[in-house]
């Protein structure tokens, strides 16, 4: 059974930090590109960051570049998103995604709420 379970969301003041985690099970984690997406109220889900299979290549949306860092631990089957200098516009539900072009497969987590507010 495939599972992606996000954790680490919460309420934080502007300028603060949070670290999200996504624990995977039920598939070959190291074979998948891992992504973080987010969806703000009333808006479409948008891609935030990606880490390739071995973690050697990372990419970010312009809106989070320099503030967010994606990392992964293939031994623990976990991907992380370190979020610094948070802004109110970062408020959203954050989703973990596992993508494989080879297997033509996408898996999604249930999401974790991040609220940035004073």
Summary mean pLDDT of the chain: 96
Q: Is the pLDDT of residue 55 over 80?
A: no
Per-residue exposure over 41-54, b if at least 16 CB sit within 10 Å of its own CB, e if not:
eeeeeeebbbbebe
Please say whether the beta carbons of 36 and 49 come within 8 A.
Answer: yes
Segment 65-106, tens digit of pLDDT: 999 999 999 999 999 999 999 999 999 999 999 999 888 999
Burial (CB count within 10 angstroms: exposed 0-12, middle 13-18, buried 19+), residue 102? exposed
pLDDT the model gives residue 53: 82
pLDDT the model gives residue 28: 94
Distance CA 58, CA 34 (A): 10
Segment 38-54, tens digit of pLDDT: 999 999 999 999 999 87
Stated as kind and residue range, the H or E segment containing 14 is none
The confidence band for 56, taking pLDDT boundaries of 50, 70 and 90, is confident
Q: Is the pLDDT of residue 29 over 80?
A: yes
CB-facing half-sphere around the CA of 25: CA atoms within 13 A: 5
């Amino acid at each position: 059974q495939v599972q992606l379970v996000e954790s680490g969301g919460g309420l934080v003041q502007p300028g603060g930090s949070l670290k999200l985690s996504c624990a995977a099970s039920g598939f070959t984690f190291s074979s998948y590109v891992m992504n973080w997406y987010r969806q703000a109220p009333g808006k479409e889900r948008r891609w935030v960051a990606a880490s390739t299979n071995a973690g050697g290549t990372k990419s970010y949306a312009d809106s989070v570049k320099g503030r967010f860092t994606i990392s992964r631990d293939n031994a623990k089957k976990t991907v992380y998103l370190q979020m610094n200098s948070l802004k109110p516009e970062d408020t959203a539900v954050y989703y973990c995604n596992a993508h494989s072009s080879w297997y033509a497969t996408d898996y999604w987590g249930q999401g974790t709420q991040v609220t940035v507010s004073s």
